[in-house]
Chain A
Amino acid sequence: MMQAAQAVSHRPDDGAEGSYAQEYLTFTLGEEEYAIDILKVQEIRGYDAVTSIAHAPPFIKGVINLRGTIVPIVDLRIKFGVGVVEYTPFTVTIILNVGGRVVGMVVDSVSDVLALESSKILPAPEFSSSLDTRYIHGLGSIDERMLIVVDIEKLMLSADMALVDDQVH
């Protein structure tokens, strides 16, 4: 898993010779389509009632009991300000395993699993949005669709997500 992650992070420059396919899980937030490294995904489940946590930013919904483990749940729709925030029986939570932590994120829907060749992922131009370009790995395109390939580990462990204690503290 680590190897895969490292290999991907080297991609933009040395992709020419070692172009290989990697599998991504794609999901939608509103109209946008995102892709994350499938090796970071632990499981996909429905949205459970959460226990809310004091002093947490609004996009952290709370914590759930995942077979004995306390797992925080982030709603990416609130975080990125896209899509309609409602919780129905069809709301999906992707449970991630990033940096030794288990974190759940709520998305609009999970699309499919795709193999993307590393050479097909283009570097994202600089722009400003609620999703910092630092966490965007690149932009992939399949047919007419644009996939935002997110470095989910970096994003989830970042200070922006408020899921991890500040290192400076």
Chain B
Amino acid sequence: MTVDMSQFYQVFFEEAAEHLANMEQMLLDIDLQSIDDEEMNAIFRAAHSIKGSAGTFGFHDLAQVTHELETLLDRVRKHEVVMTAAMVDASLEAGDLLRDLVAAHRGEGAADMARVAEVCASIKRLYSDPVSVADEDPQPVSAAALPCSFRFSFMLPQSCADAAGVMENMSAELEALGSRVVDVSIDAAGRWQCLLGGRVDAAAVRDIVEFIASPGSYAEGEAASAPAAAADDAWGLFDATPATQDDAGDGSYGFFDAPAPVAADAQDDSFGFFDAAPGVPTTAVPQTAAVDDSFGLFEPLPVESAAVLPLAAQPVAKSGAPAADSAPEPAKPAAATRTAKTTGGDTSIRVGVDKVDQIINLVGELVITQAMLASAASKLDPVEFERLMNGVQQLERNTRDLQESVMSIRMLPMSTVFSRFPRVVRDLSQKLGKQVRLVLAGESTELDKGLIERIADPLTHLVRNSLDHGIETPDVREARGKPREGTITLKASHQSGNIVIEVGDDGAGLNRERILSKARERGLPVSDGMSDQEVWGLIFEAGFSTADQVTEVSGRGVGMDVVKKNITAMGGRVDIESMTGVGTRMTVRLPLTLAILDGMSVAVGADTYIVPLNYVVESLQPTAAMIKSVGGEPRLVQVRNEYLNILTLRGALGLAGGTTDLERGILVVLEADGGKIALFVDELVGQHQVVIKSLEANYRKVVGISGATIMGDGHVGLILDVPSLVESARGRLAAAA
């Protein structure tokens, strides 16, 4: 085609990736015992859409693989072949290959044509295997529809610039099927009339032609049965007036064609002007069903149409209404739902992350400006400047709302990460000969996109680790009185400003002795008196692996340390709980977002620091009676029924200014990681929402400081790293004890 397609490539790549992800998800969900027709159709549609767009964009390798895959799925869908585990595997492999091919077209890596041929051949073998043909189907369509000459006609979409090129492509595709284009002509109305010879599979021809034809314009007519012109008329009629669906046989044609252009249009919007062709494939589904009718197979029709319908319509079809007349009725609302679903795609737009980030940055600056205004306004007389004050307050509310909505753009549900795990677990458990069930929970928990992308790899490591080291082989499990099938649980939830992701297994648990002996072997400073928590922490040391043998999956000791490092770099932490014989649970805690924080500002001398509000329990002014000394130094404060360790911010950060008299300052009770301390500061300054800026971008990590922000007056404020302060305070106490 002469149109420059490259500008649409990106859209195609994204679409293809989405379809592939969908397809994989659905393939993994398939229950071979009872295959849901709707699911099969959805999988087929995904493959079909990729093929459609791949063909349009001239990615023939992609089209070739999807074509085979689609043929296989189509036959399963039509109950000509029974889906087997081998087919699921082959389809998954084809999905992987397609992903690689897409990557290759993107310029990442090279396309492996040998693998293309291999995968195509293996799929072909699967669907052409006669043994697997379902016996209840007396007359497979492909066999029935092999007339030696076949006539069809169609219109090309107006957006198609290079008709000759398109026709050439089509001929090539048809010839690949074993058909031969005998005659091609174009009539006065602009319809292309084609006559095919040789082996003809009507359904396959329809599929091919509908890629290029404008929606609903495809019509077939066999020279032997009816004059082509008459058939054309009928098509034209039903296209124009879908209401005429009384006729039993053609009724379904009329009906199914009607929503077709709608669906295609709807997709057009989301794809750009180009997608007349790929939009059509969705309509191919009902239409193929309709073709079957014309061959006299009325019996399977309800099943066929049920397959097309979303669940709502299914009961009707399942109730066994065999009459073809009834089919259009349940199909009607179904088609409407489909259309609605497709148009639903239009309510979202694809925007580059950089644009969103730019908006977030701008809003961040706006928040700073707003804070600056607020701090300037607070010095004015509230009576005299009442209107200005009101305006500033309103600005604050609006800014906060704006900020929240903008931040929510970046939020993605955890399911975007979790969706990869069924596959990981399936492949890995097969490889390791284990039986594992994956339980996902809290997939709708939202997390910042930046974090989502970075958490995926560490989580994969943890899951693989659980599978490899945690879950025992079925025999061992049985011997230990556990079910043969192990369970891995992935759970995401919100917990006070954090997102908590748990990776749990009901496997063997960590082996304390083995970890300790391994640690000694590696010369790490360990003792038998270490707490479990400390021992478990050892597995995050670099190069630490207690696996008896190095497997393909794990055991090289790279991984866990990287996991910890990555998660820490995201401002999160990992905790391990484990019980021998019962299982292990790794808990990853991450901040909700990297960008914004509710903070309380505290002053020490002339410096101001921000304490993240989610760690603050309370603040109080201590009296002499509350402060208790240990070892001659005031260390503890009694708050109600608790003694808390006092940490002076002045001491912790080595500051010069500030008071040392505990009674003249404020104690802020902080809680982090299950520990509480009382942080001593000079005074509380206020509460703000601050935009977190990285200190490490231009500087380095500072102990006790997690980041920086810009205060209302334009100065830099430093944000305290509360967990590390709490830890250091507890360490200090332990050292003193």
**Given that A51-B716, A55-B654 are contacting pairs, would A68 and B698 also be in contact in the complex, using a CB cutoff of 8 Å?**
no
- Give bound CA distance, A88 to B698, whole Å: 25
How far is A54 from B701 in the complex, measured between Cα atoms in Å? 11
Within 8 A of B (CB), among A49-81: 49-56, 62-65, 68-72
CB–CB B698/A54 < 8 A: no
Q: Which residues of A contact B475 (CB under 8 A)?
A: none
Chain B stretch 684-737: residues in CB contact (< 8 A) with chain A: 693-705, 708, 710, 714-718
Q: Flag B359-374 by CB within 8 Å of A: 1 or 0 each.
A: 0010011001000000
Docked-complex contact B715 and A54, CB < 8 angstroms? no
Cβ-defined partner of B700 (8 Å) among A54, A68, A162: A162
A122 at the interface (CB under 8 A from B): no
Q: Is A164 an interface residue (CB 8 A)?
A: yes
**Residue in A56, A70, A163 whose beta carbon sits within 8 Å of that of B708 in the complex:** A70
Contact B718 A53 (CB under 8 A): yes
Partner of B695, one of A49, A52, A63: A63
- A68: B residues at CB distance < 8 A: 361, 364-365, 368, 693, 710
**A165 on the B face (CB < 8 A):** yes
Across the interface, name the chain B residue whose C-beta is closest to A103.
Answer: B698
**Min distance, Cβ B685 to any Cβ of chain A, angstroms:** 14
- B244-280 residues with Cβ-Cβ distance < 8 A to A are none
Q: How far is B699's CA from A55's CA once the two chains are assembled, in angstroms?
A: 13
Most A C-beta atoms less than 10 A away, residue of B694, B717, B718? B718
Asked if A102 is at the interface of the complex by the 8 Å CB criterion, the answer is yes
Give Cα distance in the complex from A49 to B606, angstroms. Answer: 12
Q: Give the chain A neighbours of B705 by CB distance below 8 A.
A: 53-54
**8 Å CB contact of B653 from A49, A51, A55, A102:** A55
Contact A54 B708 (CB under 8 A): no
Residues of B within 8 A of A165 (CB): 696, 700-701
Contact with A49, one of B655, B703, B715 (Cβ below 8 angstroms): B715
Contact B715 A51 (CB under 8 A): yes
A101 at the B interface (CB under 8 A): yes
Chain A proximity of B417: nearest CB distance (Å): 28
Q: A136 to nearest B CB, angstroms?
A: 24
Cβ of A54: which chain B residues have Cβ within 8 Å of it? 652-655, 702-705, 718
Give every chain B residue within 8 A of A70 (Cβ-Cβ): 693-695, 697-699, 708, 710, 716
Measured in the bound complex, the distance between the Cα atoms of B695 and A101 in whole Å is 11
Q: A55 touches which one: B368, B702, B714, B715 (CB < 8 A)?
A: B702
Of A49, A55, A70, A162, most buried by chain B (CB within 10 Å of CB) is: A70
Residue B357 at the chain A interface, CB threshold 8 Å: no
Give the residue among B698, B704, B715 with the most A Cβ atoms within 10 A: B698
Given the complex of chains A and B, what is the CA–CA distance between A20 and B162 in angstroms?
56
> Does B329 have its Cβ within 8 Å of any Cβ on chain A?
no
Shortest B229–chain A CB gap in Å is 71
Closest B-chain residue to A49, C-beta based? B715
Counting from the closest, the 5 A-B pairs by CB-CB distance are A54-B653, A51-B716, A165-B700, A72-B699, A70-B708
Binding site for B on A (CB under 8 A): 49-56, 62-65, 68-72, 101-103, 162-165
28 A–B contacts from the bound complex (CB under 8 Å): A49-B715, A51-B607, A51-B718, A53-B699, A53-B702, A53-B705, A53-B718, A55-B653, A55-B702, A55-B703, A63-B699, A65-B715, A65-B716, A68-B365, A68-B710, A69-B693, A69-B697, A70-B694, A70-B697, A70-B698, A70-B710, A70-B716, A101-B697, A103-B698, A162-B700, A164-B700, A165-B696, A165-B700
